[in-house]
Structure 1
Amino acid sequence: MNPALRAALASVLALSPFAAHAAPCAPQWVAGWASSQMVPTGDNALPAGSFGGATLRQIIRPSIGGTGLRIRLSNVNGTAPLRIDGATLARAVKAGSAAIDPASLIALRFDGQAGVTIPAGAEYLSDPVALPIRAFDDLAITLHYAQDPQGQTSHPGSRATSWLLAGDHLGDADLAGAKTFQHWFTLSGLEVSRCEAPRLIVALGDSITDGHGATDDANDRWTDDLARRLQADPATRGLAIVNQGIGGNRLLHDGLGPNALSRLDRDVLVQPGAGWVVVLEGINDIGTLTRDAPVDEAAHQALVAQMIGAYRQIIARAHGRGIKAIGATVLPFMGNAYYHPDARNETDRQAVNRWIREKGHFDAVVDFDSAMRDPARPDRLLPAYDSGDHLHPSPEGYRAMAKSIPLSVFSQN
């Protein structure tokens, strides 16, 4: 075993969770970071045999600080148990680099053991570790795979670099020569322990929430910008936010990932501390309807009705867990070459947004449409906010989205 890792493991075994930073409270868990899991396809999947015996290092950034943490590993798409031989956590030198601070290295444990076997279709929490962290600390999670997964579980749109290197490098200060890619694998969450009552916002969405058009390793999705606003305001500093966006996601049908209703429980309702869900879904439902061929008027009307039905389901299921549902209006996408929307698609979008804005449905509304549209051509994104494909915002557009959200919608009343 690597000497640095041996020392880190000994330090973990010598400390009971939170003993070094005991607080006069009963710590509670809140999700500090998360990523929605799906089956990677095409170039998003790694070649068979890539993981067996290899080390994977991934950098994540929690939206909230606390006195300790634990990670969540996922094999939800696996068709057989997945064996992880070891896992470590360390402070990353910076986003976009595999280098860590060796003095911060901690060996994670699972039921007191160095490794864990995750059943097919399951997720697994690590044992808690006492490590005070701040919001926006860059943390490196390193996994050593005993075997190749039978069915990869991934979040393809990480917008963050990951490193994969053959052999056991759990305790290495850097991963020179590693293969790099912008995907997350197996890692689905990080939970933070805090004395304060847990308060969490979950962003449920598609590629616009996932951050298509954002800058790799720069954390400039709209949810990142909102997290910074929350932390800067004393009234909302105790709120965490996690991004559960999937590129290509739809309300009603599977696309590049599972549809929003099918993943609602795992990605939103069971997230520890969830108090609000911001729903930005629907653009892909509207665009896909006529992407390949026109449809009749009845099909357009049916789509709008089914989308509204899906929103009602999300609201009802959220309320059943005591979670407030915040509706986000669907952004304009006229001019997009992939969906080539026409006036009839725009009518569908306007009908959906009209329902979202109406009182008595969502608990509050975030009007991204009004914030992002071009006043001169309201069926299009404002050019300054357009990434160039007339569908996804640019980093400046994502900042405008975050700025448009009234923080008062996250009040406790």
Structure 2
Amino acid sequence: MASHWVGTWAATPAPADGVALASPTIRMFPRISIGGDTIRLRLSNAAGTADLVIASTHVARRAPGPAIDPTTDRVVTFNGSVTAKIPAGAFVVSDPVSLAVAPLDDLAISLYIPNDLPASFGVTGRYSRQFAYLSPPGDFTGHEVMHASRVVDDWYFLCGIDVMAGEEVGGIVALGDSLTDGNISSYDMFCRWPDQLARRLVARGGRMFGVMNQGLGGNRILHDIRGDCGVKRFDRDVLAQPGVTHAIVVLGINDIRNRRGLAEEAVTAEELIAGLGQMARRARDRGIRIFGGTLTPFENETFLRGAYTPEGEAKRNAVNDWIRTSGAFHAVIDFDEGLRDPDHWPRMLPIYDNGDHLHPSDLGYNRMGDLIDLSLFD
């Protein structure tokens, strides 16, 4: 039977501002969406200013704390070598690894960085809402219980995990900002809406889909901030993802908020619509079904005081009206309608609000995952 690679997990490569590393082993614990008998890893040096050397990489199934199940420990190679040298701005794909993994398994990825990396190097990382571990200097990739000197909450250098799957298996990319990345959700509770979508797809059975979370805190459609803007990263983070068949785009609220307050970064609703339209067109050209997620309420947010304005609310409503009515997307996922207070639409319903009036609570994030009609993937 024919088979192909499908992304079962992803993290957007972006700058981990100000991070320095002292030759550590990094052990991270991604939860995959679909399983298989053969996997591979993708590692990124997207933010680096020089070559990145990774001297040893291991993958295993997770055990409690910083530990692994040693019976599942596998050495990962790159073109037959245990060492990977990644040029600045580039990424590498590992050789296939024979390891049976099940849907929703927790894996342990251990990377040994043999050189000190100062903050000026440009470490690639993205906050994870999960705990990971850094060791003292040294290679502990093969240790069952890794020596840990620090607990961190970033995905360092790891940008993807793929499984070899049957040709009928598809891939869903979630492209968004902090609301897709799950900012301020509870650590190690897997409350991000793509997590909930993955759980529901596994529980449903039938045709399987890998779910790849390409949320990036602060991300905008039209201007860079902590990584590339949406129209710039769309090819890398959506079109180039292994096995992608569907995409869900939820971007625009940070363009409206204009966090840096720069006049040259102020945008109109028409400009946001044009950017979203470009994404929809590029997906359709590649045969990818793309769904538009409406922008959620943020009246009187406190995460960035003063970011909410009546003018911004008017832009949000105009963009949402276009998403709902233009036909640019194959379908609409109405996150706005699902989270808003029915008695006051500009405001998030309090039970779905984490308290800053911008980011959902754990319940709110799971609600977003529940709003997605699974028949869209039939």
Same fold (TM over 0.5): yes
Alignment correspondent of 2:321: 354
CA contact (8 A) 2:19 2:123 kept: no
In structure 1, the residue matched to 2:8 is 32
Which residue in 2 is equivalent to 1:396?
363
Three-state SS of the structure 1 residue aligned to 2:195 is helix
Q: Indicate whether 1:199 and 2:199 are aligned.
A: no
Matched, 1:89 2:89: no
**TM-superposed deviation, 1:326:** 0.5
- Over the aligned positions, Cα root-mean-square deviation in angstroms equals 1.7
Deviations 1:124-168 (A, max 9, x none): 111101111111111101011122346334333211111111211
For 2:82, the aligned partner's letter is A
Query: Paired residue for 1:66?
Result: 36
Work out the CA distance in 1 between the residues paired with 2:16 and 2:256.
23
Q: Give the superposition deviation at 1:51.
A: 3.8
Alpha-carbon contact 2:51-2:88 (below 8 Å) kept: yes
Equivalent residue for 1:220, pick from 176, 179, 191 = 191
The match for 1:248 is 218
Q: What amino acid sits opposite 2:124 in the alignment? A: S
Aligned residues: 372
Deviations 1:381-412 (A, max 9, x none): 0000001100000010011111111112223x
Counterpart residue number, 1:370: 337
Corresponding residue of 1:137? 105
Structure 1 counterpart SS, 2:223: coil
Which residue matches 2:292? 327
Q: Given the superposition, is the C-alpha separation of residues 153 and 263 from structure 1 closer, same or farther in structure 2, using an over 3 Å criterion?
A: farther
Superposed CA offset, 1:212-256 (max 9, x none): 1211111111110111011111234x1111100000000011122
User: Are residues 1:146 and 2:119 paired?
Assistant: no
- Give me the whole-angstrom Cα distance separating, in 2, the residues matched to 1:392 and 1:169: 37
User: For the residues of structure 2 that align with 1:176 and 1:116, how far apart are their CA atoms?
Assistant: 23
SS at match of 2:36: coil
Indicate if the aligned counterparts of 1:198 and 1:272 stay in contact, CA closer than 8 A: no
Distance (Å, rounded) in 2 between the aligned partners of 1:80 and 1:256? 19
Check whether the contact 1:39–1:151 (CA below 8 A) recurs between aligned residues: no
Amino acid at match of 2:45: N
Map 1:11-410; keep pairs closer than 5 Å.
Answer: 25-41=1-17, 45-47=18-20, 50-52=21-23, 54-94=24-64, 97-149=65-117, 151-165=121-135, 166-236=137-207, 238-288=208-258, 292=261, 303-337=268-302, 338-340=304-306, 341-410=308-377
Which amino acid in 2 is paired with 1:28? H
Amino acid at match of 2:6: V
Residue type of the alignment partner of 1:40: A
Residue type at the aligned position of 1:38: A
Percent identity of equivalent pairs: 41
Equivalent residues of 2:28, 2:132 under 8 A apart: yes
Amino acid in structure 1 at the alignment position of 2:161: L
1:310 maps to amino acid = G
Residues 28, 197 of structure 1: 8 Å contact kept: no
How far residue 110 of structure 1 moved from its aligned partner, in angstroms, is: 1.1
* Structure (1 or 2) with the greater strand fraction: 2
Deviation track 1:251-273 (CA, whole Å, cap 9, x = no partner) reads 01112222111111111100011
Q: Which amino acid aligns with 2:299?
A: M
Give the Å deviation of 1:339.
Answer: 4.8
Structure 1: runs of 5+ lacking an equivalent: 1-24
For normalisation by structure 2, the TM-score amounts to: 0.94
Kept after mapping to 1: 8 A contact 2:175/2:251: yes
Q: Distance in 2 between matches of 1:310 and 1:187?
A: 28
Is the CA contact (8 Å cut-off) linking 1:74 and 1:153 kept in structure 2? no
Q: Name the SS for the 2:116 alignment partner.
A: coil
SS at match of 1:400: helix
TM-score between both structures, scaled by the size of structure 1:
0.86
> Aligned partners of 1:272, 1:77: CA distance in 2, in Å?
22
Distance 2:91 2:261 in 1: 37
Deviation of residue 359 (structure 1)? Answer: 4.1
SS class of match (1:379): strand
| Alpha-carbon distance between aligned partners in 2 of 1:366 and 1:400, rounded to the nearest angstrom | 12
Residues 76 and 133 from structure 1, CA distance in 2 versus in 1: closer, same or farther, beyond 3 angstroms?
A: same
Give how far 1:320 is off. 1.7
Moved more, 270-279 or 189-198: 189-198
SS, match of residue 161 in structure 1: strand
Q: Tell me, yes or no, if the aligned pair for 1:206 and 1:245 is still in contact at 8 Å.
A: yes
Q: Residues of 2 paired with 1:148 and 1:74: CA distance?
A: 17
